[in-house]
Amino acid sequence: MQTKSLIKFVSLMVCLTSVFSVTDVTAQVIDPQRPVQRAWEAFKLRYQAAFDNLNSKLPAHPENGDDVRYTNHLNSYTKGLPHDSNGIVDAAAYNALLNALSTGKPADFEVIPMGTPGGEKFRNPQAAYTYFYEGKDSHAYTMPAAPAFSSAWNAADSIEVMWQALVRDVAFTDYATSPLITTALADMNHFSDYRGPRESGVISANALFRGIGAGETNGPYISQFLLQPIPYGATKIDQRISVPVANADYVTNWNDWLQIQNGGKLTGLPDYSDATKRYIRNGRDMAQYVLKDFIDEAYMNAALILNGYGAAAVSDTNPYRSSATQANGPLFSVNHVLDMLGRVAMASQDVAWYQKWLVHRRARPEVLFARVHKHLTDPAITYPLNAELLNSSALPLAFTKNSGTYLLPLATPAGSPLHPSYPAGHATMAGASVTMLKAFYKGSYPVPNAVIPSADGTTLLTYDPQGGPVLTVESELNKLASNISLGRDFAGLHYRSDGDLGIKLGEEMAISMLQELVNTFNEDFTGFSFNRFDGTPITIHKQ
């Protein structure tokens, strides 16, 4: 009914325009269109985009059923609410959260009982209801159901995160020789539903904790866009960061875990700061980067680095590459790229927050390992945990490291932020932002001056591929997205599935936005052409 009413309204306005004449403006304007013609063309463009979105098939939103399957909500997102001594949420408080999410009324969110008065607050659940004007509506994207609590997929997801915590201080350059990495590989290769990359059918030291995008196992673990100096106006910025010292882990005892689960804060903690700034060289450094980054920092820096590579790195479809009389800028220049990164930054978070709060509400890894701890140490408690998880060699190592618990050692005393795990917000933004960068730059362009950090992270060394694959813009952008995503796993905040599928969600969102924006440009060009994360080519052309 609403669609028919809108069509009738537009038809009426078109008829009225044909009846009434329009007075010319007094100034002599050089323009291929009269002012009212231009106004109507702008209206038709916006209307057509909105109508196409309205007319498209709405997707289903599958979820794993855990929220209903377990009446104690053992795998539902409940952090910040009151919990009993075993870490099980107060049912009335959880129902109040569900009620607020179902009504969307701001007043209903204000009466949710919180676990710690004056403690940590939920991270913006009302973002799930936001509208925006470019691309499809945030509720019109979908993603697979999250792994179920007792599944083999969830077991592999979980133990991978535990291993990432246990090897945080091993330099990526030492993975091939580290005995701890060898133990991790032997364990991870036993999992039947691990969905990370493999080499020759096995999880190798080179593939361990890498992303699944095309070219991500090529070269150093860390993307060149997190290592190379950043041209920043009239100066350059090196990418050494402030990091913690080794073994700076938190929330390894039950009382601390229960305190943060109720929304409380840990106090009186030691200062674990390293006096030396370092290039990202291990999982702890990568975790620190994504714990401190701002909204599109990594992608803005990548755009500036790419711009510094010069005209040869610009996409072949850039219309100004072949113009005899025109140069790019502001459109199709680095200014355009930075603007597009800003456009997808917040919009991608709205897409993620809808899935997080209104569809999946997946608990964080810190909760999963609290369930493991109680299952293994309290004879009165039994949880439906997958046998592959319980048989992992990572668990006794964690028990020893934690001095008597099976909890996940976290890289931050706050633990996970107060919003659900699936999908990862960082990953969704990474997918959207890297897709925008791919649209403007040449994926096959060889990255110049490739570097690799020293094992202690104090210097950058020249990277020699030694006859292996040359690093390209595409492979390093894919790697950038996964570095950011998996860095959150190294911190103990997310699972691989949160990230890998979040990246794909962000990619879809950016493609939808590009499809609308490409129709707004006057330039004669074939469209944006690039490869998706899985290597599939795509061209977004005018319609």
Residue type, 266: L
252-266 per-position pLDDT tens digit: 999 999 999 999 999
Residues 6+ apart with CB under 8 A from 60: 142
Segment 358-382 shows an average pLDDT of 98
Residues 6+ apart with CB under 8 A from 459: 279, 453
| Domain membership flag for residue 53 | no
pLDDT reported for residue 33 = 85
Segment 146-151 shows an average pLDDT of 98
Residues 471 and 106: their CA atoms lie apart, in Å, by 49
Residue type, 324: A
Report strand pairing: 230-232 vs 235-237.
antiparallel
* Domain region containing 241: 134-540
* pLDDT higher than threshold 80 for residue 20: no
* pLDDT higher than threshold 60 for residue 5: no
Residues 271 and 283: their CA atoms lie apart, in Å, by 19
| Domain membership flag for residue 511 | yes
Tokens of 272: 């674990």
| Domain membership flag for residue 397 | yes
Q: Confidence band (pLDDT; 50, 70, 90) for 17?
A: low
**Would residue 367 be called left, alpha or beta, if left means φ above 0 and alpha means ψ between -120 and 50 degrees?**
alpha
In the residue annotation, 426 being an active-site residue is answered as yes
Scanning 150-198, the segments in alpha helix (DSSP H) are 152-166, 179-188
* pLDDT higher than threshold 50 for residue 16: no
pTM: 0.95
| Domain membership flag for residue 127 | no
Stretch among 38-52, 304-318, 360-374 having the lowest mean pLDDT:
38-52
* Contact in structure between 147 and 63 (CB atoms under 8 Å): no
Residue type, 55: N
Q: Which residues pair with 202 in a beta bridge?
A: 199
Residues 63 and 145: their CA atoms lie apart, in Å, by 4
Closest by Cα among 335, 345, 334 to 134: 345
313-341 per-position pLDDT tens digit: 999 999 999 899 999 999 999 999 999 99
Residues 6+ apart with CB under 8 A from 482: 210, 211, 212, 213, 216, 430, 499, 500, 503
Q: Which residues pair with 237 in a beta bridge?
A: 230
| Domain membership flag for residue 32 | no
Closest by Cα among 456, 485, 523, 153 to 299: 485
Residues 6+ apart with CB under 8 A from 449: 228
| Domain membership flag for residue 43 | no
Residues 395 and 446: their CA atoms lie apart, in Å, by 42
Residues constituting the chain: 543
The CATH number given to whatever domain includes residue 198 is 1.10.606.10
204-238 per-position pLDDT tens digit: 999 999 999 999 999 999 999 999 999 999 999 99
Residues 170 and 181: their CA atoms lie apart, in Å, by 8
| Domain membership flag for residue 197 | yes
Counting Cα atoms < 13 Å in the Cβ hemisphere of 252 gives 19
Residues 6+ apart with CB under 8 A from 171: 281, 282, 455, 456, 457
In the residue annotation, 360 being an active-site residue is answered as no
Residues 346 and 477: their CA atoms lie apart, in Å, by 20
Q: Confidence band (pLDDT; 50, 70, 90) for 175?
A: very high
Q: Which of 73, 139, 426, 494 is catalytic?
A: 426
Residues 109 and 434: their CA atoms lie apart, in Å, by 34
Residues 368 and 373: their CA atoms lie apart, in Å, by 9
Segment 157-166 shows an average pLDDT of 98
pLDDT reported for residue 9 = 57
Task: Tell me what percent of the residues of the chain surpass a pLDDT of 90.
Answer: 92
* pLDDT higher than threshold 90 for residue 1: no
Segment 359-368 shows an average pLDDT of 98
Q: Which of 83, 139, 419, 494 is catalytic?
A: 419
Q: From residue 417, give the alpha-carbon distance in Å to each of 54, 313, 525.
A: 34, 38, 44
475-506 per-position pLDDT tens digit: 999 999 999 999 999 999 999 999 999 999 99
Mean pLDDT of the chain: 95
DSSP state of 359: I
* Contact in structure between 202 and 191 (CB atoms under 8 Å): no
| Domain membership flag for residue 86 | no
pLDDT reported for residue 31 = 84
pLDDT reported for residue 164 = 99
Q: Confidence band (pLDDT; 50, 70, 90) for 8?
A: low
Q: How many structural domains does the chain have?
A: 1
